[in-house]
Structure 1
Amino acid sequence: MTVRNADIFRTMEVWAPKYLAYDWDNVGLQIGSAQQSVNRVMIALDVLESTVDEAIENNVDLIIAHHPLLFKPLKQLDTDSPKGRVIRKLLAHDITVYAAHTNLDAANGGVNDMLCDLLSIDNREILVENYTEKLVKIAVFVPETHADNVREAMSQQGAGHIGDYSHCTFQSAGQGTFKPLEGTDPYIGSQGSLEFVDEVKLETIIPEKDLPSVVEAMIAAHPYEEAAYDLYPVENSGTSYGLGRMGTLNESLTLAELCERVKRTFDIPNVRVTGDLSAPVKKVAILGGSGEKYIQEAMKMGADAYITGDMTFHSAQDAQELDLSVIDPGHYAEKVMKDYTKAYLDEAFQTDGLQVMVSQANTNPFQTV
């Protein structure tokens, strides 16, 4: 099977839907064509010139990056400027760029969960919610003989998932009536005759985003020419998503020991830290990237320490005044997304011959001297 960029985009958006991104963000296709075929994909944190040179050297067709290449609107495209050179090289070598940024931060199993996995932070909650799914209830009327088939078809497309349970439905028995008119080809009965059929009313919940695929699957599995079904808006809240996580360490550590774990886990030489290094830490908030705006949220949720990048002087002082310890490993800690994204795509396209590599270019602008 020929894999196209669009196939990979759709797969990424099953994991990190674009609607999870903040409205100020720019995610998705950055440069290139969704219809271009692809053999080699490279996962990168940033798209700098060194990243593009690496992609060219390795005959890469698609770069999937965490940080968008095009974040602010371009007022001119000067190919002598650093960004202009990058764009020129990408176009000259038919390399497509796709970005999954705050949508991958907020996604279940996304960047913040990756950081928690590596640091052994469990019992997680969302630190800052930014999206809650809307739910729809569907009720479909189906002959008793086909209820199981219809239930299975809808469940396979995302209907009836509540918490850790799938195939959650309710069915009630009843009798349906219909009279096939001229031009029909009824599954049961004959034209001009009123039919009475033992049916069940099958009800379940669907995330609004899955509604089209669920209805399509239901109609395909339903035996009737015209399936009868109702859709209802509901006030129940679906799954929530958001930035950052709040959880507990698998063991109690001192702040100094947690700093060492962060350095070792993310392979960084140093961190910036505020607070008493001998203080015990059990509850930890973490937010990949720049999280200084969410000090209050970490404090309200009872964090002993807050791990985030790009902490500025006055924000660090504010945290200190609140008696909240802060560990700043820098923004580059988000590089953990590279290996996780490669593993995800390897599994999704394991039978298609797609080659996925991780960028080795060091895009961290800082060094310790």
Structure 2
Amino acid sequence: MQLAEVVTKLNRLAPLRLAAAWDNVGLLLEPSSPQPPIQRMLLTNDFTSAVWKEAESKNVNLIYCYHPVIFAPLKRLTCATEKQGLLVRAVEKRVAIYCPHTAMDAVEDGVNDWLVGGLGDGMTMALETLNGNPREGYGRKMLLNEPVATLDEMIARVKSHLGLKHVQVARCSKTDPIRIVAVCAGSGGKVLESAKADVLVTGEMSHHEILAAVERGSHVITCGHSNTERGFLHTLKPRLEALFEKAIEVEVSEVDADPLVTE
């Protein structure tokens, strides 16, 4: 399948118009013509040296990287830094890189719907809606069909859904059953600051954002920035295989991982 056709399909899956104004999304690295057909795609949350070695070993033509590989403007493209060096190698190997980031956060059935969907069943809506669509926008809030009796039970659900042994928890004074949960993948402080929910779940929040949330009466669970995003790639894999009618081999990176661990 040609790159232009692949990009068109990816843009329809998570329309770039949904991305935040500050973001840099879409096709960020394109080989020159004549472009090699896309036969193998690697899904990753971040573009690291370990991921690049994996992509090389698997003869990947396209890296689908959730976080933008180019964000701040580049004044030069040299091998002076590891990040730029990886981009140079990708250019030399004629590997394309596509990055959806906040477009995939905002779209219905995207990252945030996946994140909240593992915490229970209930009515869901975006915290910051776009274009008048309550299911499209940043963050998600769920009114649970069945209240969760304790915060400990909700913590267990978060750990199970994200495959984590540890999370960080800030408890407020409330001991009532949990009826409303709000989530934001990645760094959720700004999106969650006005959320009226019993529990806030995100990757990371600042010290003062957590203090403010607890004072408002919300428990806070932070899980590590990319830990709230990476698992989505496993649900995305079969969707992409169907989208490309299995003309492209899609794999999830085996080495992509959150840089922080609890020891």
TM-score of the two chains, using structure 1 as the length reference: 0.66
- 1:48 corresponds to: 48
The answer for unaligned runs of 5 or more in structure 2 is none
- 2:61 corresponds to: 61
- Structure 1 or 2: more strand by fraction: 1
Deviations 1:201-255 (A, max 9, x none): xxxxxxxxxxxxxxxxxxxxxxxxxxxxxxxxxxxx6676210111133532211
Cα distance between partner residues in 2 of 1:258 and 1:366: 23
Quick check: 1:15 aligned with 2:16?
no
- 1:243 corresponds to: 138
Q: 170, 187, 190: which is aligned to 1:293?
A: 190
238-247 or 334-343, larger mean C-alpha shift: 238-247
Pair 1:269–1:240, CA change in 2 (3 A): closer
Deviations 1:299-346 (A, max 9, x none): 2xxx11111121111111111111111111121220022112211111
The answer for unaligned runs of 5 or more in structure 1 is 133-236
Quick check: 1:311 aligned with 2:205?
yes
Quick check: 1:336 aligned with 2:231?
yes
Give the drift of 1:367: 0.9
Percent identical: 32
Give the drift of 1:278: 5.1
- 2:165 corresponds to: 269
Quick check: 1:281 aligned with 2:178?
yes
The letter of the residue matching 1:241 is E
Cα distance between partner residues in 1 of 2:261 and 2:175: 27
How many residue pairs get aligned? The number is 258
Q: Which has the larger radius of gyration?
A: 1
Cα distance between partner residues in 2 of 1:289 and 1:282: 23
Cα distance between partner residues in 2 of 1:239 and 1:319: 23
For the aligned residue pairs, the C-alpha RMSD in angstroms reads: 1.9
Cα distance between partner residues in 2 of 1:286 and 1:349: 30
- 1:75 corresponds to: 75
Cα distance between partner residues in 2 of 1:267 and 1:359: 16
Cα distance between partner residues in 1 of 2:13 and 2:121: 21
Partner SS state of residue 184, structure 2: strand
- 1:24 corresponds to: 22
Cα distance between partner residues in 2 of 1:323 and 1:239: 24
Cα distance between partner residues in 1 of 2:207 and 2:51: 31
- 1:252 corresponds to: 147
The letter of the residue matching 1:312 is S
Cα distance between partner residues in 1 of 2:113 and 2:51: 25
Give the drift of 1:82: 0.9
Give the drift of 1:25: 0.4
The letter of the residue matching 1:27 is V
Deviations 1:58-85 (A, max 9, x none): 1110011110000111122230311122
Pair 1:343–1:305, CA change in 2 (3 A): same
- 1:97 corresponds to: 97
Partner SS state of residue 363, structure 1: coil
Where in structure 2 are the equivalents of 1:125-136 lying within 5 Å?
125-129=125-129, 131-132=130-131
